[in-house]
Amino acid sequence: MTKIVLVAAVLNCSFFYLFGQEELSKPFSDCNIKGSTTIYDYQAQKWISSDIEDSHKGTLPASTFKIINTLIALETGVVKDENDIINWPGATDTTKYGYRPDIYHDMSMKEAFTTSAGWVYVELAKKIGKEKYKPYLEASNYGNTDLSINDDDFWNFGNLAISPANQVAILIGVYEETLPFKKTSFQILKDMMVQEQTAEYTLRAKTGWTRDGGKDTGWWVGYLERSDNVYFFATRLIKNRTDKNSDFGACRKDITKNILRQLNML
């Protein structure tokens, strides 16, 4: 039995190891935001959550979908590697994606992932087609696999939903390379996901932020790889768009790192 099967079993019985919930909730109150952080200790095979109930609630994945989207784009041959150039289509809906002129140009797959250039992945989604996405998402046990919205940006808008616990299960599948993709695809993705690398650890992660349904939903998901262990995490923040919080984006990482330090993981 692989670890990913074990994770699925754990999720089905809703078993979590809860650690100092009041202390783990403090970083959220310090940021004046609601949300949760879900962590899986790989060696101990233990789950840690600041909010067990929230860990199981599904919402749009936003740009964290770029993790599995990259694998699908590589697997389907829409791009061959991280250096493939995607041509700027010359127009974008800035009211939908935000005004980001710094990303409106031809760019490589790697740059698109690093800068979270949404238009690149929308262009790739048009070429892949929803009929090809569905089998990969189902085989990977990715969220509810609902792609019913008439929009190529179905990870930022619509009914696709994934929970923080499910995000962690997907990350374990990436780490173990047990999801239904080629080894070369995993290697390209893992290299692109590196955000921090020191003598003590490598941190691979992806942010996400969508503004659908009158809500700001922000994510930071990834895993911290040390010589003796791996810690998988998924932090999700949610607020009403009418509630102003200029630290919303920064808090995704700040809260996660605060909790990882509390647990002596970082």
Residues noted as catalytic: 63
| Residue (of 65, 46, 36, 52) closest to 3 by Cα position | 46
Cβ pair 49, 236 in contact under 8 A? no
- Report the C-alpha dihedral over residues 133, 158, 146, 76, rounded to 10 degrees: 0
Cβ pair 256, 235 in contact under 8 A? yes
Provide the 3-class DSSP secondary structure of residue 225: strand
| Residue (of 141, 137, 201, 133) closest to 165 by Cα position | 141
| Residue (of 215, 171, 210) closest to 60 by Cα position | 210
Helix (H) or strand (E) holding 94: helix 94-97
Q: At which residue do the structure tokens 């922000």 appear?
A: 218
Cβ pair 127, 18 in contact under 8 A? no
Backbone phi, psi, residue 183, to 5°: -60, -40
